[in-house]
Amino acid sequence: MDLPDTTETEIHNLLRQRLSNITGVKLLGWNPPNAKTYGLPNILIPKFREQRRAGSDRVDACMTYEDVLILTEIKAASSEMVADIAKLRRIYSYWDLLGITQILTRQGIRFSPIPRAVVPAIAFGTLDSSLPQDFLCWHVQPGVYRQIAGVQIPEKDAEVLRRLRAAFERTQDNPEM
């Protein structure tokens, strides 16, 4: 199916709107392309454990669904996401679930329930590359919402994400599915 090009900003808006309407999703932070937001905070993750002033990574979207914490990067096309995937992997190489939840708590985020797992995610408008198998992937276009969970996501988390998929891909907005 040929889909029109959708800009990164449009993907942000579509994804945010979609997720906002799903029961069980709690949006915690959002960093739009112009890096300016008055509602949800920008979420920062320090680059290294010890080295202050080494800088921080901004995560585009941060949310919980049930007891899974999802850190998401967003671009117009999946092929543009090499650096974003590397960034999320770098975050996971330095911080475990406890570390990430601590960092978010320090930024004023309150969890209920406390996340049991953290899953990296990417969202894009054009699917033009292979997808990472350890990531949750959202393919978003106007009127089209697909969720693809990588096979390397642990089964317990995948089970939760299957429930999210059902809500995410609601057929009334997704006639071609």
Partner 1 sequence: MGVVLTASSQYEVWCDKPSDKDLVRAFSRVSAFWSRISSVQIIPNMSREKLVANPRLAAIAPLLDYDRPDMIIMLGGRPVLVIEITEHGYTGDNPLQRFARLARAAEMGIPSIHFTPFARTRYDEMLYTDNPTSARKVSSRLFEGFLRLTRVYGVPVVAMDWAVSRQGLPIRPSNDNEIRQIYGEVIDYAEHLCEHDGEHVLHGESILNCQVIARAIEATKKKAAQSNVLESEIRIENVPYPRVCQLVSEPKSIVDLIGSDYFMKGKDHKLVALRAIEDSVVESVETPGGLLDVSSARADVGRLLPAQFGEKAWLVFYSGYEWRSQPNGGIVVNTEILYCRSEFGKTVRDRNQYLVVVWPRVFWNRSHPRRIALLRELEAFVDSSQTTRLGQLIVQKRIARGIPLDHPNYVAYNADSIGTWAEGGEAGRIYRNYCDLIILNDRVLLGNHWKM
- Contact footprint for partner 1 (CB under 8 A): 9, 32, 34, 36-41, 44-46, 51-56, 102-103, 105-108
Q: What's the min distance (Å) between Cβ of 94 and partner 1?
A: 12
Tokens of 53: 């002033």
> Which lies closer to partner 1 via its Cβ, residue 104 or residue 153?
104
139 sits in which H/E element: strand 136-141
> Which lies closer to partner 1 via its Cβ, residue 38 or residue 93?
38
> Which lies closer to partner 1 via its Cβ, residue 2 or residue 36?
36
Q: What's the min distance (Å) between Cβ of 102 and partner 1?
A: 7
DSSP state of 37: -
Task: Using DSSP, state whether 172 is helix, strand or coil.
Answer: helix
Strand partners for 136: 121, 149
Burial, 93: exposed, middle or buried (Cβ in 10 Å; 0-12, 13-18, 19+)?
exposed
Q: What's the min distance (Å) between Cβ of 132 and partner 1?
A: 26
> Which lies closer to partner 1 via its Cβ, residue 2 or residue 38?
38
Q: What's the min distance (Å) between Cβ of 142 and partner 1?
A: 17
> Which one, of 129, 117, 114, lies nearest residue 92 by Cα?
117
Residue 83 CA neighbour count, 13 Å, CB half? 5
Q: What's the min distance (Å) between Cβ of 161 and partner 1?
A: 25
> Which lies closer to partner 1 via its Cβ, residue 44 or residue 117?
44
Helices (H), the chain: 8-20, 82-94, 97-106, 155-168
